[in-house]
Amino acid sequence: MSGHSKWSTIKHRKGVKDAKRSKIFTKIIKELTVASRMGGEDIDANPRLRAAVASAKAANMPADNIKRAIQKGAGVGKGDDYEAITYEGYGPHQVAVIIECLTDNRNRTISNIRTIFNKNNGNIGSTNSVMYAFDRVGLIEVAKDGMEEDQLMELALEAGAQDFDPEGEDYFEITTALADLHLVQTALEAKGVVIQKSALAYVPQNRQEITDPEKAAQVMRFLEAIEDDDDVQNLFTNLDLSDEAMAGMND
């Protein structure tokens, strides 16, 4: 099935090790708020909110924080007015990126993102300068703990998934057609599958392989700087690190 994305593995590992530095709670609270605002505060009737709550619990977010974020989005109390913005462009060594942000200050966000590109020899592109080379899909992540690969693959394909990737370090990744994401999520949950993340994603049609460890380190610094920005919710890239590059970075 689909080839394994080494960037996905590194990203998940980094997310666990650097949870505080990545300010993961801030990103999850934004997603809880927006999901509640768009689809209501009834978790059972709002798949996006249900997935956001699952992400919050996986990150050990206190229940009171989750509740407050949902209530803000639903209009209980004063909530932040977040705007969704997407940027695209090329980082070091022509690695393509798509960056999804939620922000309450557009000027701050574009200034921060542009600075990261400039400091890392990258270029922000115009609309569709990168996006044309990616496919828009649904992406579901299920933690490997307590879930058998063969069982989940069978359930996912029966539910209508397009692809199943078992090669991540901590997560199984399930890909769906754009319109089928919530249908597949609901079908899996009905079978007792605990969803860690459910979201729309961009998957590259072709990957940019980096084999040199020094170049790989430059790209990783750029991607990490993007992900560490408070306004960045999701980052998609066509990066493919070779085994040699990964081994060289670990030395």
Which CATH number belongs to the domain containing residue 52 in this structure? 1.10.10.200
Q: Are residues 200 and 222 in the same domain?
A: no
Can you give the pTM of this predicted structure? 0.82
CA distance 175 to 168: 13
Q: Is 75 exposed, middle or buried (0-12, 13-18, 19+ CB in 10 A)?
A: exposed
Alpha-carbon distance values, 5 to 79, 95, 130, 168 (Å): 36, 14, 18, 8
Q: What is the count of structural domains for the chain? A: 3
pLDDT tens-digit readout, 158-170: 999 999 988 777 8
Report which residue type is found at 176. T
Residues 6+ apart with CB under 8 A from 54: 194, 195, 196, 197, 198
Task: Check residue 2 and give its pLDDT.
Answer: 41
Please check whether residues 18 and 115 belong to one and the same domain: no
Going residue by residue through the chain (251 aa), what tens digit of pLDDT does each one get? Answer: 343 344 454 554 444 444 454 478 888 888 899 889 888 889 888 888 888 888 888 778 899 999 998 988 888 655 567 888 999 999 999 999 999 999 999 999 999 999 999 999 999 999 999 999 999 999 999 988 878 999 999 999 999 999 998 877 788 999 999 889 889 988 998 999 988 888 889 999 999 999 988 999 999 999 999 988 989 999 999 998 877 877 777 65
Structure tokens of 137? 């899909």
Note the pLDDT of residue 147: 84
- My answer on whether 159 and 138 are in the same domain is yes
Residue range of the domain that includes 185: 134-204
Q: Which residue has the tokens 């609901």?
A: 186
- Do residue 91 and residue 58 come from a single domain? no
* Reduced DSSP (H G I as helix, E B as strand, rest coil) percent helix, strand, coil of the chain, to 5: 50, 25, 25
Q: What is the DSSP letter of 60?
A: T
In a domain, 1, yes or no: no
Residues 126 and 213 in one domain: yes
Query: Is the domain of 213 the same as that of 128?
Result: yes
CA distances from 124 to 29, 91, 97, 152 (A): 27, 8, 9, 39
- pLDDT tens sequence across 60-72: 889 999 999 898 8
Which CATH number does the domain housing residue 162 bear?
Answer: 3.30.70.980
